[in-house]
């Protein structure tokens, strides 16, 4: 049996996070949220009724104002969360020219599978990196369409900025921004398609996606006809013309007015605290709280080694304790799951396990709806839970 010295023992903390919700989606509600925030939702009304359409339009207008989306870009609410928004773009826009697919985590890998195995496009290049790294962005060919995630939710790796994207590109840039919107600087002039969902940085409910189109993206839709059938929920044009009413409050299918009300509430909160910069600053402060804890902790480190590409929302961590690293992969995975389970049972932290396809570790949401003080309180609990489970694993 391995001797566990007194130096490895960690006292159980007596101060708990006020809100234990650190899930990376759906994420924590904005501070102070209660169910009463939805009391004005137009439940029982048709989503096509004038009051409901006005409320949907309010959500679109708040998105433009809070995200600082250019006036000539279109914003629509579409089915099936961020996944649905990305899929309708892949199926409706790709094939006009070659495409570069960037992937460094599970969601980017999913889009590669769709393009190669489902759409079966002929001219596809895949630029790939492992978890914790970025592909070589200098190798991207912008004469082609480019599909990428701005922030890799399951790896904690984001692109550092938009400087690698030229203004005079020939192809379209299609950006899955589901865990970067409202938290990271995104230069819309460099982005032709942007998708995300309410359930991430806004702490909203699932099921609906947001689709933002540049004039260049609209031109593609109106001049390119895919050589494949498109399901109804993927169709953005009719008779070769954009279905513009989708971007004015008319949705492709039935939208939940409860979800719309919740998104409106979250964005109004964002405006009240100071808008986009304030939301970004809160996420930065939250990520710093985790970073400060990691800096003084010897058993854990970031999955992303380069600080320049570390996410400030989906912060992913790996165990680097030498004794644990010496265990086989299954034993390490069991230990990490045991840490997550212990904190869950304590009511201290929910849903912080690493993504199922990612390396063993933890994933902590640090978006603006989380309070920095709660993340500061979480660190000591992680230390305690790890120490307890390490003793059990090495006994």
How far apart, in Å, are the Cα atoms of 223 and each of 43, 88, 194, 246, 318? 39, 16, 20, 19, 47
| CA 298 – CA 327 distance, rounded (Å) | 17
Query: Which pLDDT does position 72 carry in this prediction?
Result: 98
Mean pLDDT of the chain: 96
* Domain residue ranges of the chain, discontinuous segments joined by +: 37-272, 275-394
Residue 375 has which token pair?
Answer: 């993340």
Contact 236, 93 (CB under 8 A): no
Structural domain 275-394, CATH architecture? Alpha-Beta Complex (3.90)
| CA 313 – CA 197 distance, rounded (Å) | 14
**Shortest CA distance to 387 belongs to which of 302, 327, 323?**
323
Query: Which pLDDT does position 8 carry in this prediction?
Result: 63
CATH class of the region 37-272:
alpha beta
pLDDT digit string (tens) for the chain, length 395 residues? 344 444 468 999 999 999 999 999 999 999 999 999 999 999 999 999 999 999 999 999 999 999 999 999 999 999 999 999 999 999 999 999 999 999 999 999 999 999 999 999 999 999 999 999 999 999 999 999 999 999 999 999 999 999 999 999 999 999 999 999 999 999 999 999 999 999 999 999 989 999 999 999 999 999 999 999 999 999 999 999 999 999 999 999 999 999 999 999 999 999 999 999 999 999 999 999 999 999 999 999 999 999 999 999 999 999 999 999 999 999 999 999 999 999 999 999 999 999 998 999 999 999 999 999 999 999 999 999 999 999 999 99
Enumerate residues 6+ apart whose C-beta is below 8 A from 375: 17, 22, 286, 289, 290, 293, 364, 366
Query: Which pLDDT does position 122 carry in this prediction?
Result: 94
What pTM did the predictor assign? 0.96
Query: Which pLDDT does position 206 carry in this prediction?
Result: 87
């Amino acid at each position: 049996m391995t001797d566990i010295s007194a130096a490895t023992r960690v006292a159980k903390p007596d101060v708990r996070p006020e809100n234990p919700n650190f899930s990376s989606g759906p994420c924590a509600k904005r501070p102070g949220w209660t169910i009463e925030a939805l009391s004005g939702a137009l439940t029982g009304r048709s989503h096509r009724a004038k009051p409901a359409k006005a409320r949907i339009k309010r959500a679109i207008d708040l998105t433009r104002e809070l995200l600082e989306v250019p006036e000539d870009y279109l914003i629509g609410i579409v089915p099936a969360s961020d996944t649905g928004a990305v899929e309708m773009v892949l199926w409706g826009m790709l094939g006009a020219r070659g495409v570069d697919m960037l992937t460094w985590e599970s969601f980017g890998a999913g889009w590669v599978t769709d393009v190669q195995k489902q759409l079966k496009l002929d001219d596809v290049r895949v630029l790939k990196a492992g978890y914790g790294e970025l592909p070589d962005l200098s190798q991207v060919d912008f004469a082609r369409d480019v599909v990428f995630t701005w922030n890799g939710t399951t790896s904690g790796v984001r692109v550092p900025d938009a400087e690698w994207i030229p203004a005079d590109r020939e192809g379209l840039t299609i950006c899955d921004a589901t865990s970067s919107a409202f938290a990271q600087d995104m230069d819309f002039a460099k982005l032709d398609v942007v998708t995300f969902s309410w359930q991430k940085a806004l702490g909203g409910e699932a099921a609906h996606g947001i689709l933002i189109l540049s004039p260049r993206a609209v031109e593609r839709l109106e001049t390119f006809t895919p050589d494949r059938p498109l399901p109804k929920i993927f169709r953005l044009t009719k008779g070769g013309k954009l279905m513009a009413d989708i971007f004015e409050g008319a949705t492709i299918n039935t939208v939940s007015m409860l979800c719309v009300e919740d998104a409106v509430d979250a964005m109004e909160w964002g405006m009240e605290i100071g808008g986009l910069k304030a939301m970004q600053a809160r996420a930065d402060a939250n990520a710093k709280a985790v970073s400060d804890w990691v800096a003084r902790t010897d058993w854990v480190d970031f999955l992303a080694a380069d600080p320049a590409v570390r996410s400030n929302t989906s912060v992913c961590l790996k165990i680097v304790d030498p004794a644990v690293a010496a265990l086989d992969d299954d034993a390490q995975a069991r230990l990490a799951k045991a840490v997550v389970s212990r904190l869950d049972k304590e009511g201290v932290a929910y849903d912080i396990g690493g993504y199922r396809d990612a390396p063993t570790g933890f994933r902590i949401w640090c978006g603006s709806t989380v309070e920095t003080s709660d993340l500061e309180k979480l660190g000591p609990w992680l230390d305690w839970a790890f120490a307890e489970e390490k003793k059990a694993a090495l006994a």
